[in-house]
């Protein structure tokens, strides 16, 4: 059972504080803040604090950090931390749905709304509901939007669902817009379907792929006020499960998938059609994994050179990180294009090579010379493995495609449907 929920800024200001069970006072927040700021990077997020402090004996805090804010819950009993983490993530997502964006400013402006949300979401520490469909019946307060919305900012490539380690990729403005629940405003007829894949690859020093995983998800963000049913058709040749025999065809495979609970699967087995009544707001419709045995070769190779074997596409914001022997003092470089850059990060014992734009099918090469005083054979062992970060828009590694996207009843006026694909690197490692 959740005892309290609070939202703090990174500097410790209270934005939201709600007590559900009266088990602890407001000063628990300070205890939490002290504990969380004392956490070094290598400590896990489920914090237990206050064993010594009499007033907070046995107080447990669980928190997530989103939008530069701490979203924390405290408890005195033995609840499931998954439930709490999941709930806090959901709360943050809902706040984003309702307020447009997730920032200190938007939370401050909409505090009444968030209190109202919390009130409906949690009763006496029991989570009641987090679905926007349910909640919209109860919420009376109106959103205060921090900036006017403009549809013309859509050009950006970044997708809303794509939380990458490259924070440079800004989410597109199209999706940072509050939901208009009560009135069907103009410009509200949009639906976005994003297919996002995250790729984890380990390539051995001999070029053999040692491990390759894809974690994918299909996310829907819906602004349509009255959409009763949406049908998403996926590749018809889609096989699920490891054991299924597969022919030589171009079937798309995945090992395991899970669905949002609102998804109706009656046509999935036969026609690979997902039926869903999308609630307004953002939701993950389907998640899937594929381990090993990728349908296509991994997008990057690196021997002494980096090699790409993907046609007609572009990779963005590629960055290559190479651990180097400690004590390296200087770096000289030969890069193939002026917009690339390489720098020596002596603090992390690493060399970082950034390639802002990497055309498909191209080969880039770079030669780095490091000066290491007192180099020994052992220092060479400290080199590598190389890790790559990148983003491949308009591409899925599994080959999953959305064949069609149909809405019923047919939307009046011009409803806009967007289907977008992206693949991110999660952990792409090449050993040397």
Partner 1 sequence: MTDSKYFTTNKKGEIFELKAELNNEKKEKRKEAVKKVIAAMTVGKDVSSLFPDVVNCMQTDNLELKKLVYLYLMNYAKSHPLCTDCEDPNPLIRALAVRTMGCIRVDKITEYLCEPLRKCLKDEDPYVRKTAAVCVAKLHDINAQMVEDQGFLDSLRDLIADSNPMVVANAVAALSEISESHPNSNLLDLNPQNINKLLTALNECTEWGQIFILDCLSNYNPKDEREAQSICERVTPRLSHANSAVVLSAVKVLMKFLELLPKDSDYYITLLKKLSPPLVTLLSGEPEVQYVALRNINLIVQKRPEILKQEIKVFFVKYNDPIYVKLEKLDIMIRLASQANIAQVLAELKEYATEVDVDFVRKAVRAIGRCAIKVEQSAERCVSTLLDLIQTKVNYVVQEAIVVIRDIFRKYPNKYESIIATLCENLDSLDEPDARAAMIWIVGEYAERIDNADELLESFLEGFHDESTQVQLTLLTAIVKLFLKKPSETQELVQQVLSLATQDSDNPDLRDRGYIYWRLLSTDPVTAKEVVLSEKPLISEETDLIEPTLLDELICHIGSLASVYHKPPNAFVEGSHGIHRKHLPIQHGSSGPAAPVDQPQVIPSQGDLLGDLLNLDLGPPVNVPQVCSMQMGAVDLLGGGLDSLVSDPIIIMHPTLCGWKNIIYVLLSNSWSGPGLISVDFLLLLAVLNFCVLQVWLPAAKAKGLEISGTFSRRQGHMYMDMSFTNKALQHMTDFAIQFNKNSFGMIPTTPLAVHTPLMPNQSIDISLPLNTIGPVMKMDPLNNLQVAVKNNIDVFYFSCLIPLSIFFVEDGKMERQVFLATWKDIPNENELQYQIKECHLNADTVSGKLQNNNIYTIAKRNVEGQDMLYQSLKLTNGIWILAELRIQPGNPNYTVKNTLNEKVCPNLWPVLYNIIWMQLWMYYS
Out of 25, 45, 187, 361, name the contact with partner 1 by CB under 8 A. Answer: 45
377 binds partner 1 (CB under 8 A): yes
Closest approach, Cβ 78 to partner 1, in A, equals: 4
Out of 323, 327, 356, 360, name the contact with partner 1 by CB under 8 A. Answer: 323
211 binds partner 1 (CB under 8 A): yes
Closest approach, Cβ 250 to partner 1, in A, equals: 24
Nearer to partner 1, 231 or 260 (CB): 260
Count the site residues for partner 1 by CB under 8 A: 76
Nearer to partner 1, 18 or 108 (CB): 18
Nearer to partner 1, 43 or 182 (CB): 43
Out of 60, 96, 308, 395, name the contact with partner 1 by CB under 8 A. Answer: 60
124 binds partner 1 (CB under 8 A): yes
Q: Are 331 and 410 in contact (CB under 8 A)?
A: no
How far apart CA 29 and CA 385 sit, in angstroms, is 42
317 binds partner 1 (CB under 8 A): no
Residue 315's nearest CA partner among 278, 286, 357, 276 is 357
10 binds partner 1 (CB under 8 A): no
Q: Are 77 and 2 in contact (CB under 8 A)?
A: no
Strand 330-335 relative to strand 238-240: parallel, antiparallel, unpaired? Answer: unpaired
Q: Which 262-291 positions form the footprint of partner 1 (CB under 8 A)?
A: 284, 287, 289, 291
How far apart CA 142 and CA 99 sit, in angstroms, is 9
Q: Which 241-260 positions form the footprint of partner 1 (CB under 8 A)?
A: 255-260
Q: Which two tokens stand for residue 26?
A: 């407001």
Q: How many CB atoms lie within 10 A of CB 244?
A: 9
Nearer to partner 1, 192 or 428 (CB): 428
Closest approach, Cβ 292 to partner 1, in A, equals: 7
44 binds partner 1 (CB under 8 A): yes
Out of 11, 167, 186, 376, name the contact with partner 1 by CB under 8 A. Answer: 376
* Total residues found in the chain within this entry: 432
Closest approach, Cβ 77 to partner 1, in A, equals: 6
1 binds partner 1 (CB under 8 A): yes
């Amino acid at each position: 059972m959740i005892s309290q929920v609070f939202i703090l800024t990174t500097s410790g200001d209270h934005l939201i504080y709600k007590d559900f069970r009266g088990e602890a006072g407001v000063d628990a927040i300070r205890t939490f803040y002290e504990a969380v700021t004392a956490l070094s990077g290598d400590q896990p997020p489920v914090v237990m604090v206050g064993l010594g402090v009499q007033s907070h004996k046995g107080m447990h805090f669980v928190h997530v950090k989103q939008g530069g804010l701490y979203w924390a819950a405290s408890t005195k009993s033995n609840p499931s931390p998954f439930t709490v983490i999941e709930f806090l993530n959901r709360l943050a997502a809902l706040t984003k749905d309702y307020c447009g964006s997730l920032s200190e400013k938007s939370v401050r402006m909409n505090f009444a709304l968030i209190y109202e949300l919390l009130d409906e979401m949690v009763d006496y520490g029991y989570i009641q509901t987090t679905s926007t469909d349910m909640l919209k019946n109860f919420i009376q307060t109106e959103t205060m939007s921090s900036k006017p919305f403009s549809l013309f900012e859509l050009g950006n490539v970044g997708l809303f669902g794509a939380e990458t380690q490259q924070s440079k990729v800004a989410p597109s403005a199209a999706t940072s817009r509050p939901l208009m629940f009560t009135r069907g405003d103009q410009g509200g007829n949009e639906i976005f379907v994003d297919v996002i894949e995250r790729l984890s690859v380990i390539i051995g020093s001999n070029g053999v792929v040692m491990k390759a995983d894809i974690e994918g998800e299909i996310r829907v963000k819906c602004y349509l006020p009255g959409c009763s049913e949406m049908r998403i058709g996926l590749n018809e040749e889609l096989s699920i499960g490891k054991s299924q025999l597969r022919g030589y065809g171009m079937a798309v495979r995945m090992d395991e998938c899970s669905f949002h609970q609102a998804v109706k699967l009656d046509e999935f087995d036969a026609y690979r059609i997902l039926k869903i009544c999308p609630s307004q707001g953002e939701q993950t419709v389907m998640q899937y994994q594929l381990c090993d045995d990728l349908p296509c070769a991994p997008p990057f190779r690196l021997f002494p050179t980096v090699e790409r074997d993907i046609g007609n596409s572009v990779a963005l914001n590629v960055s290559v990180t190479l651990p180097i022997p400690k004590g390296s003092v200087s770096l000289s470089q030969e890069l193939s294009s002026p917009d690339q850059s390489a720098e020596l990060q002596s603090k992390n014992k690493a060399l970082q090579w950034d390639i802002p734009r990497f055309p498909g099918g191209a080969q880039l090469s770079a030669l780095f010379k490091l000066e290491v005083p007192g180099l020994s054979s052992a220092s060479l062992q400290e080199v590598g493995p190389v890790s790559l970060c990148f983003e491949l828009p308009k591409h899925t590694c599994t080959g999953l495609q959305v064949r069609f996207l149909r809405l019923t009843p047919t939307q009046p006026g011009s409803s806009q449907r967007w289907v977008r694909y992206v693949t991110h690197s999660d952990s792409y490692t090449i050993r040397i």
